[in-house]
Structure formats: C-alpha cells, structure tokens
Amino acid sequence: MQTNIGRRDALRWAGAAALATVGAGVAHPASAFGLDIWEPRRAFLHNLHTGEKFTEVYFANGSYIPGAMASAMKVLRDWRNGAQHFMDPKLFDALHAIQLRLDTREPFQIISGYRSPATNAKLAARSGQVAEHSQHTQGKAVDVRIQGVDLRNVKKAALDVSAGGVGFYPQSNFVHVDTGRVRQWSGS
C-alpha cells in the first residue's frame, strides 16, 4: 500500500520530533552525535534506484524543516512499490554527523531506505541477511555508500557517531546505518 506524505503529515511529524527532542529541558539527541542544535544541517542523498536527489537544509534555527523533511523522506521511500513512511529525524542527523566526520559533500548513495513490510518479507524470503523485523520497515535505517570514500571509512565514521546499528557489507558495497540500539555486525 502506498502512503503519501503530505505537508500536514510532515508538519505533524516535524512538530512531534521537535517537541520530543528539544522541549522540556531534554537534551537534543543530535548533541549525542556532536552536533550543535543551532547549526543548520543539510542532507546529501542520491537514491540510486530512482535517480532522485536531496541536497537541502532539513534543520535550521533549532528545529526540523517540515517541507524539507517530507522531500527527504520521499527520496528514501520504498522504490519497489512507492510506499513512503515517516523516517526518524535522528537518522538524518546521524548521516549529517557521518558526513562531517568524513569531511565530504559527496552525496550518500542510497541502496535502501524505507522498506515496506511486504518488500521486506520478499527480501527476507530470498536472503538470510535481511532481518524479519528490520529497522528499514520502521523508518529508522538506510543502506549507503559514498562515491570516492573507502567503505571502511564510512563504517568507522558511522561507528564513531554511535547513532545505533552499523552493518558492514563490503561485498555488497554498502554500510547499514540505523537509529536502533547501538550494535555492529558484518555481512557480505
């Protein structure tokens, strides 16, 4: 089933994220990634399957920008069936922090962002490397690489950020980054 993220949903989600992360004296989660909550953040994304790119500021003046977040989430949609899902704003912050550590403005090449449960089930049936309850289905994961950057360096930067899970897939040429619990693994 395809879900379209409209401006109203983007506003609601951005507002909820802002309240959850900045309000009531709670430390902003991005501060854990070494990010200043008042500095603008830009995501550099290139979906290899759709050709779509996102290179906008998604966070400024201490809050997420709803329209930019909606556009970024569209780039990370399930390219197999067009399904869109709310993506964890911390995932964009983690990617931003990784990019800062790598000192590059080359876009993250997106291998996989959101995966609908139907897509995930099909992939899990074909491969033992796809988790049945993948963070991808929750909008908390992305598989990436950066052209011109050694994959081991992407992995190291992702581990340094400590945003969540980091999977290293050298034969498949990508690094999995998620905002679940902190852990690491290697695949093929």
pLDDT, one tens digit per residue, over 17-73 is: 444 444 333 345 555 688 888 899 999 999 999 999 999 999 999 999 999 999 999
Q: Give the CB-side neighbour count of residue 57, counting CA atoms within 13 A.
A: 9
- State the total domains in the chain: 1
Q: Which amino acid is at 168?
A: F
Q: Are 184 and 159 within 8 A, CB to CB?
A: yes
Q: Are 91 and 178 within 8 A, CB to CB?
A: yes
Would you say residue 90 lies in a domain? yes
- State the CATH number of the domain containing residue 87: 3.30.1380.10
* Cα distances (Å, whole numbers) of residue 69 to 12, 91, 120, 171, 174: 11, 11, 23, 31, 23
Would you say residue 55 lies in a domain? yes
pLDDT tens-digit map of 49-64: 999 999 999 999 999 9
Would you say residue 2 lies in a domain? no
